[in-house]
A and B are shown apart, each in its own frame.
Chain A
């Protein structure tokens, strides 16, 4: 049955795309959205069935893809990602119904959006190299076209698209080389055959395939230093697309690293996983630092995606490291923690991106310093944003708390090991995770506090209106899931454990205690999120009751006091930039902010200042020190190379002759 559902998902998704391309403007949005939701629903049912029964979905056809044929096998591990993509897809599509602007209603965008969602559902099912690369590229290209949907109206979109195109194609090239290397040496391109024969491959093949996979999948996941496209593409992409990219597409980068590292190669030496952990810690710290100091809402959320991907990589790396030193149970726990974070990140980041797009639609800006006071104007959207944000900051009783706690537990219990690599890696990992957690809390206080609370900072914010019901429903569903999964993690934990066991092919029993608790079996103490939530609810209610008893009168509303200042205007409030300023100063050596002070003096005397202008900017250090020099160097090289073909036909004939001689010498 699951195999049929796989076919249904693909067919319905592609027909949604076809309808989007052909139907008349009045009805095409509704029909294509409805069909896409149907495809997601079918994908979710299939994934749930696979996760529940372990009944693998298999589809092989030689007709569709030349030479290799289309080959799809969906196991439990892939099904977890399909389920996540499906839920995010449904919510993003509901949201899309009310979302205007960004050129999403054009014929091309209506055709490509369902295609993108469909590839998100199908990539985890690909089971040979050609199918995988085909679907992967389809996903990359369709998401690129969607990022570019609004390029006619805004010129920044084109630049963001270029960055994204270069990074995604670079990643795809790395994947192509890595997977082809594996396939040629294993003698077959099917994933099952590679997995069966990978143990006998030469070490250099295994090593280079893994490193290339980390590079290729890491660039899609937004891992530092390949993250530069994220903070550019996300602010420019249409709202539902940025949510899909950040909550569903990025996950597939993690999927790939685990699939290749644990699945195809069956684990590897410790240095592989230390590399993954180091990149994860770097991504987590760098992403959280930049999101804490950014004042553009979507840029901030994009950097926080890098940060969360870093946490997932920390878990994946820790898992591999434990496995390489023989701690199979702990390896499973760490992998479960990482995958749990994938699921929860999708839920909270989806709700954050969708509600941020609502705020953008209502105020016309993503600049936090031009928002403010929106929780009063848009109570539902504001609450959704807060819920997602607090979940991301790992606040108790929301979902992010559970996955980060489990990750901490895995690292803690891995420590009493004689292996020096573990002994050094784990405390540093915990430190990185802790600093990331603290910075994320700061980020969310900043984003919600500056953007949603206080006085409106612009006329647009003062007159913002709540968005339509479908947008609230789409974002609200994900926000509700943040609370539901936080209180009742048992709804997802068993499936995640099954998925982790399926990819690492271990037969060890479930390492976690079940029911309302989360914790490691055989260890004293566990986490009971539901119980803690109930206790918190009771405590807050009791305190509220006590306040009511002590003070019957409701609070009197008057002008803010502000230490006795008469007039409190919005310009006196702290801005997002000023909120992050102490942190910018503390991390000045890492962030290297650029300050620019323009002072023009009065003509009469230079002691009188006529006007002063202060400009500060915070560029990405990797962009400035690695990517810009690289692109300048490439440009120079191109300019040099342009001198060679000068239009003379004789010269071109000479090139042909020289090339022929070289080929003959090399071949001979």
Chain B
């Protein structure tokens, strides 16, 4: 049976995770952009460019439409706030961050959904055509990716007898062979598709497009400016980093700190950073090679992910 850590190291882990995601998120986006640029034969901006952009935007004046209500300025706060909560309680660097017992995988999903809902409401609050368009598309894709996501979570939770994140990670560490089972591989593919869809990457959404008809996420944030825009960009990159770190630790947990102590933490930090960076590079390479899907082909992709995750659950039962 697992034993809990003392309070102080747990709080330190949480704090480290939040700070790491705050800084690491924009850097991850920078790394992915650089990889893309290099593959396309361009020099590209430096890796820390997203951080510089954030600094610039944070000092700019906020301008908002005169039609907005209190939702509009609140939405970026909820986006960043919900991601910070997830970053604090999820096992990103160590198996036991503060309140790790409450880091339920379903709860994490709903927290991330809260950020998406807040952004969609903020987009509609601006009262422009593009806000509604982006919100409609983002919510449609979000709704359709939900079944694949939750059933994939089910596939991971069944063998661990819990949907508690530290529980699943600890179980993977204790049973290394479990990682190569069919249910894990099927769930892995489903997770990848959902992460790509949820974080608005190619082939579902193009994060660097500004063409009206193809925008999803960018259409939602058109009316935001200055500090609010900085928060949104920060929040989005943090979400990507959290999702990738979670993904990495769910499927390749080795290196994560299992005991309190500075050395364990440093090792945990280093391995998580390396895993996330590798995933980021992989995603960037993938993005260079694929074209954006038509919006109405995306449901097919997500339905495929759902089928894979149902298969994952069934094979989990057969194996168990």
**Chains A and B are bound partners:** yes
- How many Å lie between the Cα of A544 and that of B89 in the bound state? 21
- Shortest Cβ distance from B230 into A: residue: A550
B306 within 8 A of A: yes
- Are B99 and A528 touching (Cβ within 8 A)? yes
**Interface 1/0 per residue, B137-167 and A, CB below 8 Å:** 1011011111101110010011001111111
- How many Å lie between the Cα of A547 and that of B146 in the bound state? 32
Pick from A382, A444, A445, A572: contact of B129, CB under 8 Å: A572
Enumerate chain A residues within 8 angstroms of B70, measured Cβ to Cβ: 375, 379
B107 within 8 A of A: yes
A435 in contact with B164 given A416-B320, A517-B102, A531-B102 (CB within 8 Å): no
**Interface 1/0 per residue, A414-449 and B, CB below 8 Å:** 011000000100111011111101110110111011
B27 within 8 A of A: no
- Shortest Cβ distance from B107 into A: residue: A527
- Are B127 and A524 touching (Cβ within 8 A)? no
Name which of A227-235, A308-316, A579-587 contacts chain B. A579-587
- Are B124 and A395 touching (Cβ within 8 A)? no
B286 within 8 A of A: no
A409 in contact with B163 given A375-B69, A540-B78 (CB within 8 Å): yes
Chain B contributes a number of interface residues (CB within 8 A of A) equal to: 94
- Are B223 and A561 touching (Cβ within 8 A)? yes
Interface residues of chain A: helix, strand, loop or mixed (majority) = helix
Name which of B108-116, B172-180, B267-275 contacts chain A. B108-116
- Are A574 and B129 touching (Cβ within 8 A)? yes
- Are A427 and B81 touching (Cβ within 8 A)? no
Enumerate chain A residues within 8 angstroms of B314, measured Cβ to Cβ: 423, 427
The listed residue with most A CB atoms (<10 A of its CB), out of B120, B136, B164, is B136
B243 within 8 A of A: no
Enumerate chain A residues within 8 angstroms of B154, measured Cβ to Cβ: 411-412, 415, 426-427, 430
**Interface 1/0 per residue, B267-296 and A, CB below 8 Å:** 000000000000000000000000000011
- How many Å lie between the Cα of A415 and that of B161 in the bound state? 9
- Are B317 and A423 touching (Cβ within 8 A)? yes
Interface residues of chain B: helix, strand, loop or mixed (majority) = helix
B257 within 8 A of A: no
A560 within 8 A of B: yes
- Are A442 and B61 touching (Cβ within 8 A)? no
B195 within 8 A of A: no
Pick from B133, B139, B296, B317: contact of A441, CB under 8 Å: B139
- Are B125 and A449 touching (Cβ within 8 A)? yes
Q: For residue A585, give the distance in angstroms from its CB to the closest CB of chain B.
A: 6
- Are A523 and B150 touching (Cβ within 8 A)? no
The listed residue with most A CB atoms (<10 A of its CB), out of B128, B139, B320, is B139
B212 within 8 A of A: yes
- Shortest Cβ distance from B235 into A: residue: A543
- Shortest Cβ distance from A374 into B: residue: B69
**Interface 1/0 per residue, A440-477 and B, CB below 8 Å:** 01101110111011110000000000000000000000
- Are A544 and B77 touching (Cβ within 8 A)? yes
Interface residues of A in 521-539 (CB under 8 A from B): 523-528, 531-532, 535-536, 539
Enumerate chain A residues within 8 angstroms of B121, measured Cβ to Cβ: 445, 448-449, 453
- Are A445 and B102 touching (Cβ within 8 A)? no
- How many Å lie between the Cα of A531 and that of B99 in the bound state? 9
A431 in contact with B147 given A396-B111, A579-B135 (CB within 8 Å): yes
- Are A434 and B113 touching (Cβ within 8 A)? no
- Shortest Cβ distance from B159 into A: residue: A416
- Are B114 and A396 touching (Cβ within 8 A)? yes
B313 within 8 A of A: yes
Chain A contributes a number of interface residues (CB within 8 A of B) equal to: 90
- Are B65 and A578 touching (Cβ within 8 A)? no
Enumerate chain B residues within 8 angstroms of A524, measured Cβ to Cβ: 2, 101, 162, 164, 167
B59 within 8 A of A: yes
Q: For residue A426, give the distance in angstroms from its CB to the closest CB of chain B.
A: 8
Pick from A540, A544, A583: contact of B140, CB under 8 Å: A583
Enumerate chain B residues within 8 angstroms of A594, measured Cβ to Cβ: none
B237 within 8 A of A: no
Pick from A426, A441, A553, A579: contact of B117, CB under 8 Å: A441
- Shortest Cβ distance from A516 into B: residue: B102
- How many Å lie between the Cα of A555 and that of B72 in the bound state? 11
Enumerate chain A residues within 8 angstroms of B110, measured Cβ to Cβ: 394-396, 401, 405
- How many Å lie between the Cα of A563 and that of B158 in the bound state? 48
Q: For residue B14, give the distance in angstroms from its CB to the closest CB of chain A.
A: 10
Enumerate chain A residues within 8 angstroms of B320, measured Cβ to Cβ: 416
- Shortest Cβ distance from B133 into A: residue: A574
A558 within 8 A of B: yes
Pick from A411, A439, A554: contact of B143, CB under 8 Å: A439
B20 within 8 A of A: no
B260 within 8 A of A: no
Enumerate chain B residues within 8 angstroms of A434, measured Cβ to Cβ: 146-147, 149-151
- Are B127 and A435 touching (Cβ within 8 A)? no
A562 within 8 A of B: yes
A560 in contact with B146 given A524-B101, A572-B128 (CB within 8 Å): no
- Are A558 and B231 touching (Cβ within 8 A)? no
A510 within 8 A of B: no
Enumerate chain B residues within 8 angstroms of A583, measured Cβ to Cβ: 140, 143
The 10 closest A-B pairs by CB, nearest first: A574-B132, A525-B164, A438-B143, A449-B124, A438-B146, A560-B65, A454-B127, A540-B81, A434-B150, A539-B81
User: Can you name 5 extra interface pairs (CB under 8 A) apart from A393-B117, A438-B146, A559-B65?
Assistant: A395-B113, A412-B163, A431-B310, A454-B125, A586-B296
Give me 24 A-to-B residue pairs in the complex whose CB atoms sit less than 8 angstroms apart, sorted by A's number: A372-B127, A373-B127, A379-B69, A379-B70, A394-B110, A408-B106, A409-B163, A431-B306, A432-B147, A433-B150, A438-B143, A441-B113, A445-B124, A453-B68, A454-B125, A454-B132, A523-B164, A525-B165, A526-B164, A539-B80, A551-B61, A551-B226, A555-B73, A563-B222
